[in-house]
Amino acid sequence: MVIRDTYRDLWSDQKFGEIYHRDFWKPATCRKVGPANRRVTHCDQYVRQASGWQGRAIADRNGELAVMKNSSVAIMAANWAWLQGVRIICLVGADYCGTHAAMIEPFTDASPGWEGQYEKPIRPGVSRQFAAAAAAIEKGGGALVNFSSCSRLTAVKQADWPAVLGTGKQ
């Protein structure tokens, strides 16, 4: 799991962030990665942001890797995955339109404090960052694709998941 914000930034009512952190984030058995500049979230690894796509893992004196400076946690996650050896990176839910997926209790009606954000056009900087990431991945012999057919994110090529994942089913 990758988080760029802290759990306190996810909902306007702090009690929901605390519930999420306590009941979901901390007990998750997967590897957790977070931002080096916000160490208030329990993580196994922290990464810092640097200019441009980071094509290879280079640790600083603290042992931290860098990922591409970004406005989207999806880019942070994609760059971290690349550094771990993943070469086909597939986005699901990077729609930039409409509402988010349905939430589970107790978060179903909790306000994040930024309703309507995805009814606005995608900011040009976000599109440029996704385009730069996609170009760098392609140049490195990989692929960044978007499985969300309704996505307004045009900087990443749309793809059909059965074709990309090789299931043969269309």
Helical packing angle, 73-83 and 124-139, nearest 10°: 10
Residues 6+ apart with CB under 8 A from 61: none
For the chain, the domains span 7-165
| Helix/strand number for the chain, H first, E second | 4, 6
Per-residue pLDDT of the chain (170 residues; tens, 9 = 90+): 888 778 888 889 999 999 999 999 999 999 999 999 888 889 999 999 999 999 999 999 988 999 999 999 999 999 999 999 999 999 998 888 876 667 889 988 888 887 777 778 899 999 999 999 999 999 999 999 999 888 999 999 999 988 888 875 54
Long-range contacts for 142-145 (Cβ within 8 Å, ≥24 apart)?
142/82, 142/86, 142/87, 142/88, 142/89, 143/87, 143/88, 143/89, 144/78, 144/89, 144/91, 145/88, 145/89, 145/90, 145/91
Q: Which amino acid is at 12?
A: S
Say if residue 27 is preceded by a cis peptide, omega within 30 of 0.
no
